[in-house]
Amino acid sequence: MPHPFKVHRTAEGDVSVLHLEGFLDAHTAPAFEQAIQAELDASRSRIVVDGEKLTYISSAGLGVFMGFIEQIREQGGDLKICGLTPKVRQIFEILGFQAIYDMVDSVPDAVQRFVTSPTREA
Amino acid sequence: MAHVSVSRLESLLESAQLLHASLDLDNLLKHLLRTVMGRLLVTRAVIAIDAGDGPRVAMSRGVAEATLGQPFDEARATALGLRHHLPIGVPAVGLLATASPARPTVDEEERAFLEALLGIAATGISNANAHAQATRLNRDLDRKIQELRTLMELGRAFSRVNEVEEVARIFGLTVAGQWMVTRYAITVCRDGLGTVSRQQGVKLPPLATYQEAMHRLPDAALVADLEDSELRALFEAHKLCAVFSLRSGEQVCGFAALGPRPGGQSYTPADLELGAGMAAQAVVAFDNCWYFREVLDKKQYEKELAVAASIQQGLFPAALPSLSGFDVAAMNRPAQQVGGDYYDVLTLTDGDDEACLFCVADVSGKGLAASLLMSTIQATLRALLGREASLAELACRANELLFATTPGSKYATAALVLAHPHTGECRYVSGGHTESLLLRADGQRVWLGATGVPLGLFPGMVWEEVALTLREGDVLVLYSDGVSEAQTESFDEFGSERLADIVERERHRPATAITTALLDAIDEFVEGAPQFDDITLMVIKRI
C-alpha cells in the first residue's frame, strides 16, 4: 500500500517551503498542484520543495513541476528542490530535471540558493 | 623496451598510478597530455581516440582548430604542425599527435619512456571507455525502467478514473513530467459526446477548423516531419514539436501535441515510441470513459422514463365513474414504457341533465414526446369541459390550444362522445380518429368515421357533430389504431371487422368482459409478435 501523500507548508523568511511526504503520482498530484497554486495566488513565488519524506514520484508527479515553473519564474521567483532521497533523486535525474532546476541537499541550502540564484533560466 | 633510468621509472610509476587511479577519461587524457607535452617541450598536441569508426579528437592543447569529436585527419594535422603521430598502445586505441619537440634531442631512453607511458595510458583509456560504456548502458537501462514504470503507472492511473477530463489531466501531467515540457495540447472528441481539450501554455484554434486534417495524423511523428502541411503549419505556429494521434480503431479521435524539450533536446525515435504507447493507453481510457458515460446516460434515461411512465399511468382514471344506464370499461396497454394513447371518462352537468364525455385519443409519435402531448390533451379537455356550447366547439377550442402549444408535427386523433346516460342521446366528434364501432342491439354495425382533421394540426378548423342515440343493448366501441392494426410477424392485421365480430359474439357480457375478450383475441391473433403501437379500448354498453 503506497504511503499516503501529504504536503504541508512552512516559511523561511519570504521563502515558502512545501514539505512533501509519501507517494506523489497522478492521483495525488492535485494536492501538490493546489499547494503551489495557493502560493502563487498569495503572490509568493520563492518556493522550496522539500522532498526528504517523498517516497516515490511518477512522471505525472513530475509534470506538476513543469506546469508551474514558467509562471513562477515570470513572477521573478523560482522553485528549488531539496532533500530528495537517492531513489527519488534518481528519477529526477534520469529525466534531466537537474538541467533546469536547482537541486540541493537541504532546506537551508535551498533558501541560501535564492540569494545566489534567485531565478534560474530554463 | 630500451633501458630506462630510475628517475624515469619513478615518473612512469607515478603516471601509471595516476592513469589507473581514475576511470574518468577526461582526467586521464589531461594527465597524458600534460606529461607528454612537458617531457617533449611541445606547445601543441592532440589526442584522438578510436571508438570503432576511426580516431576522433578527444582532447587538444594549443590547437584551436581541433574540434572535439571530429575525425582525426592526418594530413590536416600535419598541416597544422602536428607532424609527430604516436600510436597509443599496441594494438592502438588511438594516437597522440604533437608538434615538433622544442627539446633539442629525444633520446632512445625518452622514446622508450613515451612508448611505455602510452602503453599504460592505452590500458587506462580502455578501462575508462569500458566504464563509460557501462555507465551509459546503466543510464539507458535506468531510463528504460523509468519509461516502463511510467507506462505501468499510467495504466494504473487510467484504470481508476471514469471522466474523460480526468484522463486528459493525467495524460497531460505525465507527458509534461516525462519530457519536461511546459507546453502541450491534448484534444479528443467523440460523436455526440463532445470534445475535451487540455492545453498547457498553448491555445489552439477550435478543433472544428482542422478536424478533417486531424484524421491524417500518423501514430507518432515529429511535427517537422508531418506530411500534412496544414497540420504542420498549425503545430509549428504554436511551437509544438511532436505529435501523437489518439486512434480508436481505424479512426483518429484526437491527438497529443508536445512543445519543445528543455536545452534544445529533440524527441528521439525511442521517445516517439514511448509517446505512441502512452497515447494508445490513453485512447483505451478515453473509450472506457465515453462508454461509461453512455451507460450512465442510458440508465438515467431509463430511470426518467420509468418516472414518466408512472406519472402517465396516473393520468388514466383510476376508476371509471358509475353512470346509470351505461356499463363502461376501458383499458390501455402502451407499446413502450410510456405511450401516446389516452382515454378518459369525464362527468359534467349539462343543464338539468347529467352528462359525460367519453374520449379516446392517439397522439402522433411515440415515447416521451407523445406522452407529454397526451398529458396536454388531458389537461386541455378537462379544462374546457363544460365551458363550450357544443362538442364541436370543444374540439375547436382544444385544437386551437394544442396548435398553439405544440410543434407543427405534433397532433392527436381523438374520438369524443358527449353522452346523456338517462336518455342515451349522444353527440359524436372524431378528429381524424380510427372509425368507431356502434353495434346495434339488432346486430347492425354502424361505423363512425372522422368528422374533421386531427386536433392540433391546423388552426381555425371546424368539426361536424354526429347525433346518435344509444338504445338498450347497443354497444359503442372507441379504440385506437393499435387495436385494428395489431400485426402478426407476417404483417397480417387484426382489422376492424374482426373486432366487430368479437364484440357481436360477446355483446351480452359486461363491458369489462368484452374488453378483456378483445384484448385476448388480439394477443391470440398476433401470436407473440411484438406490439408496435399502443392499444386502447373503450366499450360503452347501454343497459
What one-letter code names the amino acid at A6?
A: K
Burial class (CB in 10 A: 0-12, 13-18, 19+), B477: buried
- Given this model, what pLDDT does residue B73 score? 92
Inspect the interface and report whether the beta carbons of A66 and B180 lie closer than 8 Å: yes
Distance of residue B224 Cα from the nearest chain A Cα, in angstroms: 23
Q: Which helix (H) or strand (E) holds B404?
A: helix B391-405
Cβ neighbours, 10 Å, residue B65: 12
Chain B CB contacts of A28 below 8 Å: none
Query: For the packed helices A59-74 and A29-41, what is the interaxial angle rounded to 10 degrees?
Result: 10
Q: Which pLDDT value is given to residue A112?
A: 94
Which residues of chain B does A58 touch, with a Cβ-Cβ cutoff of 8 Å? 149-150, 153, 157, 174, 177
CB contact under 8 A, A27 and B176: no
Burial class (CB in 10 A: 0-12, 13-18, 19+), B39: middle
| Residue A1 pLDDT exceeds 60 | no
Q: In what order do the strands lie in the sheet with B184-190?
A: B194-200, B184-190, B251-258, B242-248, B220-222
Q: How far is residue A45's CA from residue B137's CA, in Å, rounded to a whole number?
A: 39
Is B44 in a helix, a strand, or coil? coil
Q: Which pLDDT value is given to residue B350?
A: 57
| Burial per residue of B220-229, b for 16 or more beta-carbon CB atoms within 10 angstroms, e otherwise | bbbbeebebe
Burial class from Cβ neighbours inside 10 Å (0-12, 13-18, 19+) for residue B90 reads exposed
Residue B153: closest C-alpha in chain A: A58
State pTM to two decimals.
Answer: 0.67
**Mean pLDDT by groups of 10 residues along chain B of 543 residues:** 69 79 85 88 92 90 90 91 90 92 78 88 90 90 93 93 94 96 95 89 93 93 95 96 93 95 93 96 94 92 87 87 92 87 86 83 83 86 85 94 83 94 93 96 96 94 96 96 94 95 96 97 94 94 94
Peptide bond into B91 cis (omega under 30): yes
Could you tell me whether strands B412-420 and B425-431 are parallel, antiparallel, or unpaired per DSSP bridges? antiparallel
Angle at B488 between CA B485 and CA B489, to 5 degrees: 130
The pLDDT of residue A49 is above 60: yes
**Is A63 in contact with B173 (CB distance < 8 Å)?**
yes
Interface of B with A (CB under 8 A): 139, 142-143, 146, 149-150, 153-154, 157, 160, 170, 172-182, 200-201, 262-263, 265
Judge: B177–A61 Cβ closer than 8 Å, yes or no: yes
B374 to A116, B368, B409: CA distances (angstroms): 79, 10, 14
* Whole-number percent of chain A with pLDDT over 70: 96
Beta-strand pair A15-24/A46-57: parallel
Burial (0-12, 13-18, 19+ Cβ within 10 Å), B36: buried
| Main-chain dihedrals φ then ψ at residue B185, nearest 5 degrees | -140, 130
CA distance B150 to chain A (A): 6
Contact between chains at A99 and B262 (C-beta distance less than 8 A) = yes
**Residue A2: pLDDT above 70?**
no
List of chain A residues whose C-beta atoms are within 8 Å of the C-beta of residue B262: 96, 99-100, 122
The residues facing B61 across adjacent strands are: B45
Q: Do A62 and B178 touch (CB under 8 A)?
A: yes
Out of B180, B201, B263, whose CB is closest to A95?
A: B180
